[in-house]
């Protein structure tokens, strides 16, 4: 059977998103509005200064553009599992001859590919044209940025996967998902560049998975870190994906034993 059924799930997810054309235009508009707001705020903070602690305004702008554009296509359905527990369909889906987790990932990837084409690329081009940003430090940095961004998505999805497993114990996971997303927005560098965090806080954040989602790829893109640090970024991303997935799998095993189906 191989990957065929998972490709079908991804294709179905991709096509379902293409049915809502207004939605992806609103997604692009939302990204652009947020970009303009953040950039204008930091322009006011910088004033006439060209740099603050060695961080130029163009670096800040580039961070926002890349982070928010990546965020626009990093599709993660935080309620995939909980919705199926609540409507009772989880009982049937667990009997299918395919991995439930594989189906979760395939569905998310289908949506992510759609958003890459119809959200990320248009928003990035508009941002480059109307706002402007730094070019990558080199061709090699750009390739490594893409690889790091893919792993960043893996970290983000793994965090969501782990938290979704709490659906077996919680009737409604909306509150905990909201808290999780607040931590990601603040500590990943997409809302506040980690350059401006206190040193002790940035040190702590570097030991969490959050910096691996957006900030690590941006650092690689800008050429702010050397080869050894880039290698360490990749190691951190891979380790966090493995750790989070193992925790999620353990919660999945325990959760199945006490699953209560709400629907029918």
Return all residues near 135 (Cβ < 8 A) that are at least 6 apart. Answer: none
Long-range CB pairs of 159-164 (<8 Å, 24+ gap) are 159/184, 159/209, 159/244, 160/76, 160/77, 160/78, 161/101, 161/104, 161/244, 161/245, 161/248, 162/244, 162/245, 162/247, 162/248, 162/251, 163/78, 164/78, 164/79, 164/80, 164/81, 164/82, 164/248
**259 or 227, greater pLDDT:** 227
Q: Classify 138 as helix, strand or coil.
A: coil
Domain ranges in the chain? 4-257
pLDDT at 1 > cutoff 60 = no
The angle formed by the CA atoms of residues 212, 213 and 217, to the nearest 5 degrees, is: 75
Q: Is residue 262 pLDDT above 70, yes or no?
A: no
Distances (CA, A) of 218 to 113, 132, 182, 221: 20, 15, 20, 5
pLDDT given for residue 88 in this prediction = 83
Q: Which of 68, 252, 256, 242 is nearest to 157 (CA)?
A: 242
The pLDDT assigned to 175 comes to 94
The alpha-helical segments, DSSP class H, found in the chain are 4-18, 21-46, 57-73, 80-87, 90-93, 100-115, 121-130, 139-164, 174-187, 199-205, 215-222, 227-257
Give residue 188's pLDDT band: very low, low, confident or very high (50, 70, 90): very high
- What is the per-residue pLDDT across 151-182, written as a single tens digit (0 to 9) for each? 999 999 999 999 999 999 998 899 999 999 99
Average pLDDT over residues 211-219: 96
């Amino acid at each position: 059977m191989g990957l065929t059924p998972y490709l079908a799930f991804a294709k179905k997810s991709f096509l379902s998103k293409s049915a809502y054309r207004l939605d992806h235009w609103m997604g692009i508009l939302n990204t652009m509005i947020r970009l303009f707001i953040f950039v204008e705020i930091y322009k006011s903070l910088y004033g006439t200064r060209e740099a603050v602690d060695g961080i130029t305004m163009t670096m800040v702008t580039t961070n926002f553009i890349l982070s928010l554009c990546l965020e626009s296509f990093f599709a993660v359905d935080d309620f995939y599992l909980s919705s199926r527990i609540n409507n009772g369909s989880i009982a049937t889906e667990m009997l299918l001859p395919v991995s439930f987790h594989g189906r979760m990932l395939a569905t998310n990837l289908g949506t992510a590919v759609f958003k890459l084409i119809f959200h990320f690329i248009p928003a990035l081009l508009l941002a480059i044209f109307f706002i402007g940003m730094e070019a990558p430090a080199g061709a090699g940095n750009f390739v490594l940025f893409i690889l790091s961004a893919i792993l960043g998505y893996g970290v983000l999805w793994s965090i969501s996967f782990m938290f979704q497993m709490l659906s077996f114990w919680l009737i409604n996971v909306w509150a905990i998902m909201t808290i999780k997303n607040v931590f990601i927005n603040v500590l990943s560098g997409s809302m506040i560049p980690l350059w401006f965090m206190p040193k002790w806080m940035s040190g702590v954040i570097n030991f969490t998975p959050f910096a691996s989602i957006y900030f690590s790829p941006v650092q690689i893109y800008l050429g702010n870190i050397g080869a050894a640090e880039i290698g360490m970024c990749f190691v951190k991303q891979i380790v966090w994906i493995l750790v989070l997935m193992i925790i999620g799998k353990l919660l999945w095993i325990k959760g199945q034993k006490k699953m209560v189906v709400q629907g029918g």
